[in-house]
Each structure stands twice: as structure tokens, then as C-alpha cells.
Structure 1
Amino acid sequence: MEIQPTFLEGCFVIKPKIFNDTRGSFVETFSQRVFKKITGLNVNFVQDNQSISKKGTLRGLHFQTGKHAQAKLVRVIQGEVLDVVVDLRPESKTYKKHFSMVLNDHNNFQLFIPRGFAHGFLTLSDKAIFVYKCDNYYHKTSESGIIFDDPDLAIDWKLNTAEILLSEKDKKLLRIKDIQDAGKT
């Protein structure tokens, strides 16, 4: 397993080793021992989630606030997505900066997202199965989010806005400056 830091402190790309033979393949998707040795972080995942999305579906940019904040380990087991994270930690030198990468079932890359980040993804393939581990349980009243097309973030989602499918909830998300003013980051 190879773990590489991104330019966002605490955010890592994980490249697992894939073992192929005539029967198929095997991959160890996570090792807490290896992760801690390389990153110095001791993460205890308590909840696993899975979503299935059709092409153009954008889920995000979501985050949990306060003591219910979540670190996540995300990956795609079928299809392809553009995965995006935004640093919402006011004390961070990369505050309000974002990182994006393609995750798919060919590269098997994963992204570790620390607490204090917003997260979203856009389905690029006809269908994608997206899974993620969280180190804290979902808490409905602590949920928040940033609208995907916030001009202050200027995220290139790789699709035209007309091609993007959003939930009713995600259509109503606020801009980052409005969330800051409300004290939700």
C-alpha cells in the first residue's frame, strides 16, 4: 500500500497493491497499522456507507460540524467519479482550497479526508458504486454543505452544469461565505 500526501494537510491518496492471477484479483483496501505508521494518524472507522449513482449525479459538498465532524476514507468499487474535498479549517494554510482526483474501479485509488473538510463527488461513468468509511456516526442536525458551483471555490467539475443531477437538498446548499457568516465551519 502506497500512501501519498496531497497539498492539503492531513489529506492522503492511498494506492493499494493489487494482486492478479488467473482466478481474478485481491486487494487489501485498508490497514490501520500501515496507515498509522506512514501518516501518524490513528483512525477508528465506525460506519461504512455506500451509494449507487447514475452519470451526472453530484453528491456534495457535505460535511458534519462540531463534535460530529467525520474523517472519511472513500473509494469507488464500480465506475468512475471525480472526487473533491475542500479544506474548511480556518487555522489551516490551505483554508478554502480544494483538491480533486478521479477515483475508479481501474486505479482502485482511495482518498483519506480528515475532519474539517467538505466532500463531494460527481459520477462520470454510466453508473458508479461509491463506498466510504467514517470515523464518526452520522448526526442529522450537524449536517451542512456548500453549493457545488460556489464561485469562491471555482471547482472544475468536468461537466456542464446542465448535465449535473442534484438532490433537492443539495440544490439549496449555501455558498462558503454564507456558511462562514453563520459560523458553521
Structure 2
Amino acid sequence: MDATCTKVRAEMLRETDGIAMKNLAVGAIFAAVAAGLSTASGIYNLAEGEDASPTVSAILGLGAGASTVPTFFYFGSDERQKVVQDRMKSIDERREQVNRTWQSFKAQNREFSSLSADLREATKNYEQAKAPDDQCTFAPPDTLKQQQCESAKKNLENVTGRYRASIAAWHQAADSIDDAVTALADACK
């Protein structure tokens, strides 16, 4: 997935660079034409002096002024460059989202693994407290054995509750990373 997105983004970057170079070239051409006509107008007026035709001078001056107008309209007029840049920004944002959800998933997975170990330990402790022959049920009230059983049972219930919540959070984190990867894939099409 990431390799495809990298290729798509590289192509987009090439396209925006090409558009920028084209804009610069066209702008330079328009600026050169304007400068050439302006220079021609100045040379003509200097060479002819008082005999310079006002019509020729006006046409050269108007041409110089008119050729600068497309220069101002052309720069930034290409919407394709903006669209491509916005799409590259979207890809970058979605990549960041995938990274954040991946980190969240890894943290949730570590917690789930830790709670799995805690649940095994709590279950083992409760089973040992009950042994032999379910002594928790048959132990006289307010004895050390009964207190150990109750403590082990409460600990097991606590850990079991946290473990179940962790399972739900793990599934939610897995769904989030799936959604983030799908969104990235859509942006890279």
C-alpha cells in the first residue's frame, strides 16, 4: 500500500513541478515580448525624434502594455496545480492518520497481552485458593482461608472486567486502523 502511495505522490509532485516550470516559461515569454515591444517603442521614438508617428508609437506602447496583461492572469491561473497539491496534502494527512492509529493499535495490543497474562495469573491464584475441593465454598466464615478465597475471587473479577474492556478496545483499535488504511488507499487511487 505504502509503495503505491509513494509512487502516486511522486507522480503528483512531478506534475506540479512541470506545471510550475510551464508557468515560469510562459510568464518569461510574455515578459520578454512586453520588454521587446517597450524597447522597440523607445528606440523608435529616439530614432525618429519629432518625426515619430504617433500611431506607431501608440501601437508599440499599447502592444507592450497589452502583452504584460496575460502575464498577471497566467500566474496562478492553473487550477490543476492546486488540485494536485490538495490531493498530495490529503495523502500526507491520511498517512499521518495511519501512523497514529497504528501506534494506538500497538499500545492497545500491548495492554491486551499484559492483561491476558494478568488474567492467567489471577485465575491460577483463585484456583490455588480454592484447592483442595473448593475450600472457598465450604470454608468457615471469617477464617484466613475464606479471606484468601474472597480476595482471590475479587481480584479475578477485577482482572476479568479489565480484560473484557481491553478486548473491546482492541477490536475498536483494529477497526480504526482498517478504516485509516482504507482511507489512505482511496486517496492514492
TM-score (norm 2): 0.18
The structure having more radius of gyration, on CA atoms, is: 2
TM-score (norm 1): 0.18
Q: Which has the higher helix share?
A: 2
Q: Which has the higher strand share?
A: 1
